[in-house]
Amino acid sequence: MAVLYMYTCKGYRLLHQNVKVKMSSKARRVLARKEHREYGRKLVVVDIENVIGGAAINKLDVAAAKRRLLAAISIGEYDQIVIGTSHVGLMPVGCVWPGLRYVIRSGRNGADLALLDVLDEDIARRFRYVVVVSGDGIFTDAVAALGREGVAVTVVGTRSSMSRRLVLAASHVIYLDDDTSTPDLQAKEAA
């Protein structure tokens, strides 16, 4: 006899009790898909240049940014990550984070504009949670629109580069330089 629990984003959930359970890899994948349908997918859009503080021109900077992000947010098996960069940063980003979706646009706010195009792709129908890794105010209208459609939006960035309007539009804020993962409720209450 076994008691089987599944770890979810809301903690452990009882699946079966007093039942003999032998889990194959296929059964684990089926349970993961069921969890995905029940709790929803997460879209993570990353302005890598905002995290680094400049162009992503070498793999060491990108690797350090990846470590900081993965320490601050959890990424599930069915979550989608989209990284925005200029043409200069594509090789370092692709070497450090292979197999993801990359959006490339050069010029002033190029990565931001490419990520904004992603946020216009009927996100509310496909994702329950969105994480925007950038502090740029250019994302404020898109974050507010997603919030109005019922999508929980978390903004991740550094305090020094975080737009005040973006903080007010987001459901939650995570500051990379503080290593805090709690909602910035004081900013919401001040509004």
What is residue 70's three-state secondary structure? helix
Token pair listed for 50: 């905002």
The CB density around residue 172, as the number of other CB atoms within 10 Å, is 18
Does this model's pTM top 0.75? My answer is no
User: Does residue 5 have a pLDDT over 80?
Assistant: no
pLDDT for 103: 92
Report the DSSP pairing between strands 129-133 and 101-104: unpaired
Q: Which amino acid is at 50?
A: N
Q: Which residues pair with 130 in a beta bridge?
A: 43, 153
Residues linked to residue 101 through DSSP beta bridges, in sequence order: 82
Give exposure, 7-17, as e/b (b: 16+ Cβ within 10 Å): eeeeeeeeeee
pLDDT for residue 43 is more than 90: yes
| pLDDT at residue 187 tops 70 | no
β-pair partners for 156:
133, 174
What integer pLDDT is reported at residue 138 of this predicted model?
93
39: Cβ contacts below 8 Å, ≥ 6 apart: 8, 9, 10, 128
157: part of which helix (H) or strand (E)?
strand 152-157
What are 110-167's pLDDT values in tens digits? 889 999 999 998 888 888 899 999 989 999 999 999 999 999 999 999 888 899 999 9
- Position 182 confidence tier, pLDDT thresholds 50, 70, 90: very low
Which pLDDT score is estimated for 1? 39
CA neighbours closer than 13 Å in the CB half-sphere of residue 161:
19
When mean pLDDT is compared across 27-36, 94-103, 107-116, 169-178, the lowest value belongs to: 27-36
Q: How far is CA 91 from the centre of its chain?
A: 21
3-class DSSP state for residue 19?
Answer: strand
The DSSP output letter for 44 is E
What's the confidence (pLDDT) of residue 7? 46
Q: Each residue of 71-105: pLDDT tens digit? A: 888 888 788 999 999 888 888 888 898 888 999 99
47-68: per-residue pLDDT in tens? 998 888 888 888 898 999 999 8
pLDDT score at 160: 86
pLDDT at 4: 45
d(CA 143, CA 162): 14
